[in-house]
Amino acid sequence: MTEFTPLLSALGGVMIGLAAVLLMAFNGRIAGISGILGGLLPPSPASDRAWRVAFLAGMVAAPLAYAVFSGGMPEIQVPMSMPLLAVGGLIVGSGLAYSSGCTSGHGVCGIARLSPRSIVATLTFMATTAVTVFIVRHVFGA
Amino acid sequence: MLRIFTVFAIGLLFGLGIIVSGMANPAKVLNFFDVAGTWDPSLAFVMGGALAVTAIGYRFVFRMPHPFQANAFALPAIKAIDLRLVGGAAVFGVGWGLSGFCPGGVIPALGIGRTEPAIFVAALVVGMMAAKAFDASRSAARHSALERHDALPEN
């Protein structure tokens, strides 16, 4: 069970949206995390790497900043085994190489621009995620 | 230097939003999709908040002649809705449903210092690079096949 947190989740969403708007206003870039990460992998041009590293470093620093304000690291629950996590990571990575975007790139930035590609991509991955969770939890009963 | 610091600060804000919203927590993400079980609708509020701010904010930003720190807006040029897009998104969803981590959720989770996010990110990078290499070798094979075809005599 996880607690229903409408206010905190909406606040977090507003912060995500604000960051996406600021990245477009300052750097003219889509705040799509798979795209920002993918652009660091070879054969990407070295000249394009600094802002990507800075953005991802800011994201990694977030729990520490959170701990400064709240007095403790954020709690997360990872209810699956390490091998399953690794398999999940491989599948996510290979899918993203073709879809050119994830929850942030297509789901937030793309839909906000009313990009038909992003709307189709988001509906597709929301559907397969829901089906996967249903099969894992209710067919296999994990 | 100031440019890089600005991007770092924006990344920090993004990461804080992910943590406050619950997107860095796989259990919460998976419960959003588990309507038939331990449903937690919180993530709808994340999407709602993020989309409302981005949709309105982008309208103002795109009226600027250019971004503050760049010469032009870098917007995706691809418009095609094809098998690559739909298939890739479908595969991504399967992995998201198995793990509860998406790229935006797992990068801030890395900073908590637990093993699971690190394993997921390593696998994610391997998966991305392998798929890109496979795709590149396939399109190279297609091109050389085309060249051979071009080299054939007319009759």
The pLDDT tens digits for A70-124 are: 999 999 999 889 999 999 999 999 999 999 899 999 999 999 999 999 999 999 9
For position B155, what pLDDT does the model report? 47
ipTM attached to this prediction: 0.96
pLDDT at A43 over 80: no
Quote the percentage of chain A above a pLDDT of 90.
Answer: 87
CA dist., res. A97 & res. B132, Å (int):
6
Cα B88-B24-A48 angle, rounded to 5 deg? 60
**Based on the structure, what is the number of domains in chain B?**
1
Mean pLDDT over each residue of chain B, to the nearest integer: 92
Residue A33 covered by a domain: no
For position B149, what pLDDT does the model report? 57
Burial of A121 by CB count in 10 Å (0-12 exposed, 13-18 middle, 19+ buried)?
buried
Q: Do A108 and B112 touch (CB under 8 A)?
A: no
Residue A103 covered by a domain: yes
Residue A124 covered by a domain: yes
Shortest CB distance from A8 goes to which of B21, B94, B97?
A: B21
Shortest CB distance from B7 goes to which of A38, A54, A64?
A: A54
**Based on the structure, what is the number of domains in chain A?**
1
Residue A50 covered by a domain: no
Shortest CB distance from A17 goes to which of B22, B57, B129?
A: B57
For position B146, what pLDDT does the model report? 64
Neighbours of A136 (CB within 10 A): 18
Chain A residue at shortest CA distance from B79: A117
Q: Among B128, B85, B121, which residue's Cα sits nearest to residue B101?
A: B121
What DSSP element (H or E) covers B54?
helix B42-61
Question: Roughly what angle, to the nearest 10 degrees, separates helices B2-21 and B103-110?
Answer: 100
A95: containing domain: 79-142
For position B143, what pLDDT does the model report? 77
Task: Read off the pLDDT of each residue in B140-147 and give the average, rounded to a whole number.
Answer: 75
B110: containing domain: 2-151
For position B81, what pLDDT does the model report? 93
Task: Read off the pLDDT of each residue in B86-106 and give the average, rounded to a whole number.
Answer: 97
CA dist., res. A137 & res. B111, Å (int):
29
Q: Which residues of B touch A134 (CB under 8 A)?
A: 33-34, 36
CB B72 within 8 A of CB A36: no
Residue A116 covered by a domain: yes
Residue B36 is encoded by which pair of tokens?
Answer: 């038939």
What's the full length of chain A, in residues? 142
